[in-house]
Amino acid sequence: MHPVNINLPFFHAFGYEGHWALLTLVLGFFYQRAKSLKAGYSKEWFVSAYSFAIITGFVFARLFHFMFWDTENFIKNPLIVFQAGGGFAILGGTIGTGFGGWVYSRWTGVNFLHWCDSLMTPICLSLALGRLSCFLNGDAYGLPTGLPWGVTFSHLSTDWLREWQALHTLYSTSPDPLAALSRIFSGFVTLHDLPLPASLTGLQAQGVQNVGDLARFYPPNANMTQSQLASLGLYPFPLVIPRVHPAQLYETLFMLVGYAFIMVVEKQAWAKQRTFFLFWIVYGLNRLLIEMVRGDRNIAFAHLTYAQVISILLVISGVLAFMYCTKRWNKNGIPEPVLK
């Protein structure tokens, strides 16, 4: 994938999440406004509520990035959240947006759960589209894989390339680079699953198709000198870039399924004023599963990432809240909407 979306003589727009996030916010605004107006809310109230929710979403996205994805640097210097650089966590932004919407609804006396019935499908669609930006940019990529749909990204994808450049120092001058590579990618792919570096394509005429085929140049198959290896481009050993799971596309697909699911159930009587909880169950399951193949995993404990721990809490909370509200409303009746 190449992180350039628009490449005109007078204008260049790169596939970083920033302008894609802006696009999804604009599309989400009009989609959510249309549904909110249809539900009976005024345009003025919606604009204020939406703006407040987006601001809190950005704050949470920034905090979550450093607290749960760049934890070590955050512990060293919590004020790093105010410095330039770093990023925004989609999971945190989604939670923050929901929190902001709830706060503004409480502040203005609106039935938040009723309003949410018009919001959850647009949010699912925005999250699905947002992950396409990560795919174009080479961000939030998956673990190495030998599956036929594994992908690689452009050298212009800085987050992507930084990972493999850091590992390069571990094998580039090693006396047995293939053994070092085997250890690095153990549990994910074999040497035969690793694509041949671009600088070694000249060896294809000798039947070399992947990194595993390079074993013919090393002991016990051969005893070549360092200068002989260098003449073939094998010393220092070139940068190896594996194919990885397109985790971004997995999440896009999952959230599109979630979009379709909520679009169907929001019309059902049993889901009225409960689509908010259904959304968090869907989104929590999404992140819980996607994290299993994410390459940028920040482990919290017991092989679970921080995102997985948060996702488990979201799913449990969504299920319990759905059950509690259903039981309560079956007994006392569902709350009336309060339109502004």
The verdict on 56 and 118 lying in the same domain is yes
CA distance 277 to 319: 7
Tokens of 282: 């869907």
In a domain, 337, yes or no: no
Largest CA distance in the chain: 83
- Section 302-308 average pLDDT: 90
In a domain, 283, yes or no: yes
The verdict on 211 and 251 lying in the same domain is no
Query: How is residue 13 annotated by DSSP?
Result: E
Under the banding of pLDDT at 50, 70 and 90, the label for residue 184 is very high
In this predicted structure, what is the pLDDT of residue 14? 56
Give the least confident one: 33-42, 70-79, 168-177.
70-79
Specify which residues 13 forms β-bridges with: 6
In a domain, 240, yes or no: no
The verdict on 212 and 271 lying in the same domain is no
Give the distance, in angstroms, between the CA of residue 66 and the centroid of all CA atoms in the same chain.
15
Under the banding of pLDDT at 50, 70 and 90, the label for residue 24 is confident
The verdict on 286 and 215 lying in the same domain is no
Mapped onto helix, strand or coil, the DSSP state of residue 299 is: strand
pLDDT tens digits for 166-183? 999 999 999 999 999 999
CA distance 137 to 140: 9
Residue 18 has pLDDT above 90, yes or no: no
Closest residue by Cα to residue 24 from 125, 108, 105:
125
Closest residue by Cα to residue 338 from 57, 30, 34, 45:
45
Burial class (CB in 10 A: 0-12, 13-18, 19+), 187: exposed
- Section 5-17 average pLDDT: 55
pTM listed for this prediction: 0.88
CA distance 81 to 65: 9
CA distances from residue 18 to 58, 73, 90, 102 in whole angstroms, order as listed: 12, 23, 12, 25
- Section 44-68 average pLDDT: 91
Query: How is residue 9 annotated by DSSP?
Result: T
Closest residue by Cα to residue 122 from 27, 191, 20:
27
In a domain, 32, yes or no: yes
- Section 334-338 average pLDDT: 84
Q: Which of 87-101, 150-164, 263-277 has the highest mean pLDDT?
A: 263-277
For residue 220, is the peptide bond before it cis, meaning its omega torsion is within 30 degrees of 0? yes
The verdict on 213 and 133 lying in the same domain is no
In a domain, 85, yes or no: yes
Mapped onto helix, strand or coil, the DSSP state of residue 16 is: coil
In a domain, 338, yes or no: no
Among the candidates 231, 258, 287, a domain finishes at 231
Q: Count CB-CB contacts under 10 A for residue 122.
A: 22
Under the banding of pLDDT at 50, 70 and 90, the label for residue 8 is low
Among the candidates 187, 202, 231, a domain finishes at 231
The verdict on 13 and 106 lying in the same domain is yes
Beta strand pairing call for 4-8 and 11-14: antiparallel
Specify which residues 294 forms β-bridges with: 142
The verdict on 172 and 318 lying in the same domain is no
The verdict on 188 and 267 lying in the same domain is no
Tokens of 115: 């309003």
The verdict on 192 and 119 lying in the same domain is no
SS (H, E, C) 110-163: CCHHHHHCCCHHHHHHHHHHHHHHHHHHCCCCECECCCCCCECCCCCCHHHHHH
% of residues, the chain, pLDDT over 90? 66
Under the banding of pLDDT at 50, 70 and 90, the label for residue 147 is very high
Domain count, the chain: 2
What angle in degrees, to the nearest 10, is found between the helix axes of 90-108 and 43-64? 140
In a domain, 237, yes or no: no
CA distance 53 to 122: 14
CA distances from residue 38 to 48, 116, 117, 336, 339 in whole angstroms, order as listed: 17, 13, 11, 16, 11
The verdict on 87 and 201 lying in the same domain is no
In this predicted structure, what is the pLDDT of residue 241? 95
- Section 263-287 average pLDDT: 95
Give the least confident one: 8-22, 72-86, 277-291.
8-22
Under the banding of pLDDT at 50, 70 and 90, the label for residue 12 is low
Residue 79 has pLDDT above 90, yes or no: no
CA distances from residue 232 to 147, 191, 199, 225, 281 in whole angstroms, order as listed: 29, 19, 10, 11, 54
Among the candidates 231, 256, 290, a domain finishes at 231
CA distances from residue 230 to 217, 221, 239, 292 in whole angstroms, order as listed: 11, 17, 14, 39
User: What domain range is 196 assigned to?
Assistant: 158-231
The verdict on 84 and 201 lying in the same domain is no
In a domain, 88, yes or no: yes
- Residue 246 parent element (H or E): none
The verdict on 262 and 173 lying in the same domain is no
Tokens of 185: 């990618």
